[in-house]
Amino acid sequence: METTTKPCKGQVKVRHYQKLDPASIDMKQWPTGKEIQDALKKEGFLHRLETKEEAFWQAAFRWALLKKYGHCPQGLENPFAETPDRSTQKLCLSDQDIVTIDDIWQELCELATSDSAKNHSEADSDLLQFLATAMSNRRQLQWSFMDCGPACQFKLHAHPNMEIIFCVKGELHEIRMDGKPITKEFESEETSSPDSDIHSNQRLKGPDLSLLGRPWKFQTLKEGNFLVNEVGSIHKSFAATNGEGVLLLVVWGGSHADVSPDQEPRSVNVQEALETMDKRLCGDCASGTLISETFLPTSERSQ
């Protein structure tokens, strides 16, 4: 078992594992349950899995993508069971569910490489591009672990590529921009260089949000659950100050498109919203209470 140093309070440690090689990967077989289990084993968390069946974990990651992009099988919109203390969630997939998910996955892989793929919706195009090329928004993806200490905060950022997250341990909280992405194109940083020795992705700038007039929503990703960030989605995520931190298994491009502080939205103070929710979590988190909140732009607040 590989040993790792736990992050200090407020820190995030990222450990990179396997890249998705477009030249050799077979998306009809992706992801293999073995690569998921191998990554968890290196981190010492394989024992936390409710099941160690490779077919289950392959289907679980596929289910997350299918749900995000509107291809979730009927009856599997929310196949979770909460633990008695409501602190974690268990994904429940039967053998037949796994077969159904695989059938849909194979159909989409065939569609992604066909001439008719270009006639599908913009939302579908992100998924179909990924299935056809093993890349997202022309960026190579990789498996990584994000080990986030208590009170850690990511910068406000956009996602220049698709990002798939499985919450291995703890809870990840976020303040998220509501609505569709405002852009999926991002400029390179002036001193841009590859953001990882694993691939050649360039670091990118986040969009200018200073005049944005949208609501922002507080959400929580619980242990055992999945989150798929579509290309262009924007949020600021964090681990609660009074928590134990959070461990995430992610498929991503190696970096985010961080929003410059002087280009953050003026109508909603995202940092202030984060601090407000962190204080509420300090009082409610231990009880397992699921909190929801919406932060309206100045123009929509009641006088």
Q: Residue 192 falls within a domain, yes or no?
A: no
**Alpha-carbon span 224 to 80, nearest angstrom:** 9
Q: Residue 2 falls within a domain, yes or no?
A: no
How many domains are contained in the chain?
A: 1
Sheet of strand 293-295: strand arrangement: 257-258, 157-158, 234-238, 172-177, 216-221, 293-295
Sheet of strand 163-170: strand arrangement: 12-19, 142-148, 246-252, 163-170, 226-229
Q: Residue 1 falls within a domain, yes or no?
A: no
Q: Residue 58 falls within a domain, yes or no?
A: yes
**Alpha-carbon span 145 to 35, nearest angstrom:** 13
Domain CATH code at residue 77? 2.60.120.10
Q: Residue 198 falls within a domain, yes or no?
A: no
pTM for the full model?
0.90
Per-residue pLDDT for the chain (303 aa), expressed as one digit of tens each?
333 456 766 899 999 988 999 999 999 999 998 888 888 888 888 776 767 789 999 999 999 999 999 999 888 988 887 666 666 678 899 999 999 999 999 999 999 999 877 767 676 899 999 999 999 999 999 999 999 999 999 999 999 999 999 999 999 999 999 999 999 999 998 665 545 444 568 899 999 999 999 999 999 999 999 999 999 999 999 999 999 999 999 999 999 999 999 999 999 999 999 999 999 998 755 445 678 899 989 877 765
Name the residue range of residue 74's domain.
Answer: 12-184+205-300
Q: Residue 199 falls within a domain, yes or no?
A: no
Q: Residue 200 falls within a domain, yes or no?
A: no
> CA 183 → CA 88, 117, 187, 239, 300, distances in Å?
34, 21, 11, 27, 23
